[in-house]
Structure 1
Amino acid sequence: MSARFEELDWQETPIGAISLRRRRDPVLDVDVYEVKLDDEYLMSSLFTTAEVELARLGLAELTGGSADVLVGGLGLGCTAAAALDDDRVRSLTVVEGLAEVVDWHHRGLLPLSGRLTGDPRTALVHGDFFALAAAGDGLDPAAPGRRFDVIMVDIDHSPRHVLAPSHEPFYTVDGLRRLAAELRPGGVFALWSDDPPDEEFRAALGAVFTRTEAHTVAFDNPYGGPRSANTVYVAAL
């Protein structure tokens, strides 16, 4: 039996102290992996339904065959792993702003780490997704100018609740236009949000993309509390 609690890693980063913890939940009889930024919980392996749906809904909108996919934000690896389950995914590039998080997966500290690092389609890249999107030179630092068929992002809490002020311009019409330029014709953009559907943000999407949808993804509380919900925005050129 695993220990009741372990702090697997703790590091100071430019945006605060980030830690990866594993605890054994005696009620559910499962290991729970949690990421904290300072005293704020960023993610938990107990609540990953919407992260998986981000990949499923984004790829469902794709009309072509094989696809080059980029995920902004690595975290526990749920969105990336779900994307790999789709046989149409030819390549998967995951851009993560914190080198510490990339290192967790290369060290095999998380349940999905082997799934990601062991798949030859996958490249885990340390980089600032928002800075790359603003620069307009491409989202893959190793291949300037490369474009993608699907771009999925799960970094900020929501378009209005961002982790850093420098992220805010991304959610404007101008920011979304720059993002759309990184997609191939017919490409798809999908975004995870912890907030309910935001009509102002959806209007910004509609100014850039041909088709937009805000999906409410509900999921159960494993402790028996009220159901929770996240939003997945999907927009296609």
Structure 2
Amino acid sequence: MTPGMTVPTLPPVTLDRRDGPYGEVVLRRRGERLEIIANGCFLMDTSDGRSERLLIDAARDALPAGRQAPAVLVGGLGVGFSLAHAAADERWGRIVVVEREEAVIDWHRTGPLGEISRAARADPRTVILHTDLVEYVRTTTDRYDALCLDIDNGPEWTVTEDNGNLYSPAGLAACRARLKTGGVLAVWSANPSPAFGEALRNAGFTGVRAEEIRVARGVPDVVHLAVRTA
């Protein structure tokens, strides 16, 4: 390659495009990478997955010592990194994934994302629910040891306006109600959010902190962590 030559960016190839109740979702391939786009907003791709794995590990590591077979709720199936990582860890018990986009579930069951999640979906601990996460945490009576949520680019950068309800006082109260005592809420974000940390404290969570994940370009990704102590 000639010194100083710029490597051309491969154009994306659209593999599937769906219009649903929450807007448009698109699966694209860019070289070896698969990308999910929602309403024109880039959500995630298959290039790395470090932050999705840290989301799961950070929640598990924050649980009280000695807790056996903790149940985890994964909010957002996405490209499947979080589910696959949880299922690869025998310490987790029940693994419930909530995904509102039927297209995303289809891309795992019969499409190219299946390669990432196939073993995890076959795991008897795994259940995938086709429903809206905001509605689920508000209405279900199930309780979990950990909630690992990754449905937006962050509390201040939501895919749809309705998702903002998850980070509101009422939404955080619903998340807290879904946790067992000592349970952990972990929320992925593309940017640090001190305001969200304060919102977690105001909602009655303790041990509020943020773990940064260095990325190749831009500010670090962040996992916000909070504990229900009572």
User: One fold, TM greater than 0.5?
Assistant: yes
Equivalent in the alignment of 2:6: none
Matched residues in 2 for 1:67 and 1:154: separation? 19
1:65 aligns with 2:60: no
Which one of the candidate residues 15, 22, 25 is aligned to 1:8? 15
1:44 aligns with 2:51: no
Is 2:98–2:132's contact at 8 Å kept on the other side of the alignment? Answer: yes
Q: AA paired with 2:90? A: D
Equivalent in the alignment of 1:203: 198
Which one of the candidate residues 216, 221, 224 is aligned to 1:230? 221
Q: Which runs of at least 4 in structure 1 moved beyond 4 Å after TM superposition?
A: none
Matched residues in 2 for 1:15 and 1:88: separation? 35
Equivalent in the alignment of 1:27: none
Q: Residue 61 of structure 1: CA displacement?
A: 0.7
Matched residues in 2 for 1:179 and 1:121: separation? 22
Q: TM-score, normalised by structure 2?
A: 0.86
Identity %: 32
Matched residues in 1 for 2:41 and 2:195: separation? 27
1:174/1:112 CA distance change after superposition, 3 Å: same
Q: Which has the higher strand share?
A: 1
Is 1:108–1:114's contact at 8 Å kept on the other side of the alignment? Answer: no
Is 1:8–1:109's contact at 8 Å kept on the other side of the alignment? Answer: no
Over the residues paired in the alignment, what is the CA RMSD in angstroms? 1.8
Ranges in structure 1 where 5+ consecutive residues have no aligned partner = 25-30, 139-144, 221-225
Is 2:134–2:171's contact at 8 Å kept on the other side of the alignment? Answer: no
1:21 aligns with 2:28: yes
Q: AA paired with 2:41? A: E
1:189 aligns with 2:157: no
Q: Residue 79 of structure 1: CA displacement?
A: 1.0
Is 1:102–1:125's contact at 8 Å kept on the other side of the alignment? Answer: no
Q: Residue 22 of structure 1: CA displacement?
A: 2.4
Matches for 1:158-173 after TM superposition, within 5 Å: 158-173=154-169
Matched residues in 1 for 2:170 and 2:96: separation? 24
Equivalent in the alignment of 1:32: 33
Equivalent in the alignment of 1:105: 108
- Number of aligned residues: 214
Is 1:209–1:235's contact at 8 Å kept on the other side of the alignment? Answer: yes
Q: In structure 1, the residue corresponding to 2:47 is in which secondary structure?
A: coil
Which one of the candidate residues 121, 125, 129 is aligned to 2:129? 125
Is 2:98–2:129's contact at 8 Å kept on the other side of the alignment? Answer: yes
Which one of the candidate residues 146, 150, 156 is aligned to 2:152? 156
Matched residues in 1 for 2:164 and 2:37: separation? 22
